[in-house]
Amino acid sequence: MPKGTIFHRLAAAAILSLVLLAGCGTNIHPPVHANLIQRLQHIHTVALSPAYVQGYTQSYHLSETRETPVPDTAITNFSTTIREQFGERGLHIQDLDMRDSSLAPPTPPWDVSCYGPALTQTNGMNFKPKAFTAPAEDISADAALFVFAWQTTSTGGAIFKKTNPWVLPFDVLFVLPSDLARHRPDSSILNSVSRRELCMGICVLDCRTGEVLWSDIEFVYGSGKLEDRESVNKLVGKACKKFSCYTNVAP
């Protein structure tokens, strides 16, 4: 949730509470193909495209969040971890850079405003291909796996402004209940008190039809960084555990 003045936040919290009371949640459920289990039986090779990773820094002036570079080790961490964890689920993964192909979703697949990145209210991230056409003959894979991630770092000033004594009561009364009720993967409360917010979106697309077969969105809050292997292991591990529900290989 964008963090502005006390009055802006109170008004937003009140509106959100009315929406929840009316029964209109803001749930985000990434798409899973209805015939995923049957489709997986015909998938033998999966092309892994390099992860799209973006960093953001949020300062005391919350509405002036800026983009910041993330070390290349973050991309390497995703590639290595996905190879290990998804490979154990029976997928034969090969490297193939398809970020500019018609199969790749737009980048970034999330909303970005002056307050930084956020999930859309409809399907979380836009994992649909840019403009799918018949894949090139040199794509010798049955499916493609794309990974997207952002890392938002809050400065001490940003954390102070989001958790100062004048704002905290409104968070407890309005934001915390909405966090518990809306069943989204992100958390406004944890975002307010954490040094970093890590988000990963992952999707598997059919190379023949361009359909999204499976996708997931995961968040981690705290002081971890995407350039640290442990943080990426945690994100990928949560997604891989969900993917295991559709395979015959135990996690």
The predicted-structure confidence for 177-210, as pLDDT tens digits, reads as follows 666 666 778 887 788 889 999 999 999 999 888 8
Does residue 50 have a cis peptide bond before it, meaning omega lies within 30 degrees of 0? no
Tokens representing 6 are: 């006390």
More confident position, 137 or 98:
98
Lowest mean pLDDT: which of 129-143, 165-179, 223-237? 165-179
Which helix (H) or strand (E) covers residue 45, if one does?
strand 45-48
**CB-hemisphere CA count at 13 Å for 242?**
15
Q: For residue 220, which phi and psi values (nearest 5 degrees)? A: -140, 135
d(CA 227, CA 151): 10
pLDDT at 21 over 50: no
Mean pLDDT for the stretch of residues 151-169: 83
The pLDDT-based confidence of 16 (bands split at 50, 70, 90) is very low
d(CA 136, CA 161): 51
Q: Which residues of 80-98 are buried (b: 16+ CB within 10 A; e: fewer)?
A: ebbeebbeebebebeebeb
More confident position, 31 or 70:
70
The pLDDT-based confidence of 71 (bands split at 50, 70, 90) is very high
Q: Name the DSSP letter for residue 62.
A: G
The pLDDT-based confidence of 169 (bands split at 50, 70, 90) is low
Q: One-letter amino acid identity for 11?
A: A
d(CA 234, CA 109): 21
More confident position, 192 or 61:
61
pLDDT (0 to 100) of residue 165: 67
Decide: helix, strand or coil at residue 214.
Answer: strand
pLDDT at 70 over 70: yes
d(CA 93, CA 84): 9
d(CA 68, CA 80): 23
Average pLDDT, the chain: 82
pLDDT (0 to 100) of residue 240: 92
The pLDDT-based confidence of 132 (bands split at 50, 70, 90) is confident
CA nearest to 239, candidates 185, 184, 180: 185
Q: Which domains does the chain have, with CATH numbers?
A: 29-156+186-246 (3.30.160)
Mean pLDDT for the stretch of residues 114-135: 85
Q: Which residues of 185-196 are buried (b: 16+ CB within 10 A; e: fewer)?
A: bbbbbebbebbb
As a whole-number percent, the residues of the chain with pLDDT over 70 amount to 78
Lowest mean pLDDT: which of 39-43, 76-80, 195-199? 39-43
Q: Is the pTM of this model over 0.95?
A: no
